[in-house]
Chains A and B, each alone.
Chain A
Amino acid sequence: MTETIAARRTTAPESGLGPLTPLAWRETRRYVRNPVFLAGVVFTAFAVKSWHAGAVQEIGTLSAYPAIFLGGFGMIAACWLTQSTRRSAEALDVTPTTPQARTAALCAVAIVPFLLGCLSLLLFVRIQPLDGVWRYGAFSPSDRMAVLLSQLVVPTLGGPLLGIALARWVRFPGTAIVAFLFLYGWVSLITILAWNHANSVPFVMLRFFAPFTFFTLTDGPYNVDTWRGSPWFFVGWQLGLCAVAVTVALLRGADGRRQRRLIRALVAVAAVTALMYALTVTGGWDHPVVSHLGQAPVPIGHSPHPTNR
């Protein structure tokens, strides 16, 4: 036994990449085996399977499924994954791998739902092309892409990142479920408010103060309401929130110079995110419009076709 111990006295052999890459792989393998994430993938697959040209009556309704199942369920799975090592923290925290490296490895797992979100987007665009489709409302093809990115893709990235940030700072085991229910309730509430107060600036601001929102509403046969706000800047706001979540998660356990650098980064990211938010609210259509098949959009309230507004 003497030989066994003495002969093996060595430092860990380095591969050159450090532990981040293998750790990210390890966490990703754990993540994709999480039953909540798997359930989210299965539900998304069922939803996508139901997509076909005739089924897409309203953009917002179908595009919300990946956000809920990949983003929302992915958030819960990522939160649990992060919390899973908490009971071993005292041993793990004194390893040479910093908490920031471990958090970064955890954040890498968000690539999986993000790629599935991208796949969902491709499938959606395939059955509902961006050019000349009245169901997208009064947006240009470029803005239509931004709407789909904000609804189908970015939430699948942001959900898991939010879950990791929550788990890093909140000890309550049910944090992710509470956050999921809160976000679901918040988005539902502000959508209803936006529907009823489409031209009110405070309600427009409220509508965009969320990680997910709708931009259009199919309002009767061939009528689509297009609400205020810039879809591209909303994507910027969402990506800003993702960056805030990552920075907040990385801040946990940071000290000294690293902490100061992260705080500076957080301030910068928060400033850019706030700017994106302001541009989202002030950009795009400056009033809600309703478009009808084959006709130019008109402001809501002036439509020759009756709506419920």
Chain B
Amino acid sequence: MSTSISLRGVGRRFGSAWALADVDLDLAPGVTGLLGPNGAGKTTLLRLFATALSPTEGTVSVLGLDPAEPAERTGIRRRLGYLPQEIGFPRGFSAFAFVDYVALLKEWTQPAARHAEVRRVLDLTGLSGIAAKKIRTLSGGQRRRVALAQALLGPPAVLILDEPTTGLDPEQRATLRTVLAELARTSVVVLSTHQTEDVAALCERVIVLDSGRVRYDGLVTELTGQAAGRVWLADEPDPAASVSWRTGTGRYRNVAEHARTGVEHVEPSLEDAYLLLRGGRPAQADGQAEQAARSREVLS
């Protein structure tokens, strides 16, 4: 498969803090999941893919084009869909009007073709019935789908999604998976999420970021396989486990760095593998540097 996104020695600094460092990646069509604790650099990486940020060091290539060159950047943006982590909407816009506005900015200048495209993406995201409603009257999940709809316009050759399933109910998440799986046949889809089950259900490849560096880059099945023999159920939390929690059956699920014998092993999930990769460290402490740096960026 041809490489659609390529990063070489990419680093991104906010003030004196490095949000990303020494990142080398090649992404081809398919769905790639991006996992990591808060502040690991996921959003920074996605913004680099989406040409919303430029790297402090290293080179980025998207669809064979250099986003540092204005003309080539425009070429990338013609084939890009981007769902930011947080997005607001102009006051007074309906769902249709907002997506139509973005479609116009994406150079859909012929009204009939544009309206047909807008209706298509609203249909894909299940918003056809409420397209005429003002966005401010919609629920959080519906607003998220409006934001998602604008990203699907095109359809894009590169689709960057920052926490797309936030606020979506299980049915909506399942629908989204279907849409993304279809799109990924020909497009590069990168999604950042804290929902490991979304990554497990949808992604072939997963990248785990930690403190701005790539901690794991490979197949989801391989990462999950690394946890084989290290997850077991017990009646009590095991002191040898890195992480343990009480499940719905009343028994404890234990995850340990070293394989155990003589226990009731269970099939590991991606979440188990992710926790093992993280070494059971508390997630919040890691990303403080990037969060502080991003706060400074917002203030500046």
Contact = CB atoms under 8 A, between A and B. Distances in A.
A173 to B, nearest CB: 12
Question: Which of A2, A17, A21 gathers the greatest number of chain B CB atoms within 10 Å?
Answer: A2
Given A88-B89, A94-B51, A12 B84 contact: no
Contact of B151 (A5, A12, A91, A96): A91
Size category, B interface? 35 or more
Contacts of B98: 88
A12 B83 contact: no
Contacts of B88: 86-88
B105 A87 contact: no
B74 A96 contact: yes
Given A23-B104, A255-B70, A5 B155 contact: yes
Contacts of B120: 4, 8
A257 B73 CA distance: 14
Contacts of B87: 87-88, 90-91
A18 B179 contact: no
Nearest to B113: A13
B265 interface: no
A257 B70 CA distance: 9
Contact of B183 (A5, A22, A86): A5
Contacts of B132: none
Given A9-B186, A91-B151, A97-B106, A84 B124 contact: no
Interface in B87-122: 87-92, 98, 101-111, 113-114, 117, 120
Given A84-B91, A257-B70, A258-B70, A19 B105 contact: yes
Interface in B223-239: none
Contact of B106 (A12, A86, A88): A12
A17 B111 CA distance: 13
Interface in A254-293: 255-258
A9 B52 CA distance: 24
A93 interface: yes
Contacts of A22: 104, 109, 111
B208 interface: no
Contacts of A55: none
Interface of A: 1-2, 4-6, 8-15, 17-19, 21-23, 26, 30, 84-88, 90-98, 102, 255-258
Given A8-B117, A255-B70, 19 more contacts: A5-B179, A6-B185, A9-B154, A21-B109, A23-B105, A26-B101, A86-B88, A87-B88, A87-B90, A91-B82, A91-B83, A92-B102, A94-B50, A94-B51, A94-B77, A95-B102, A96-B75, A96-B106, A96-B107
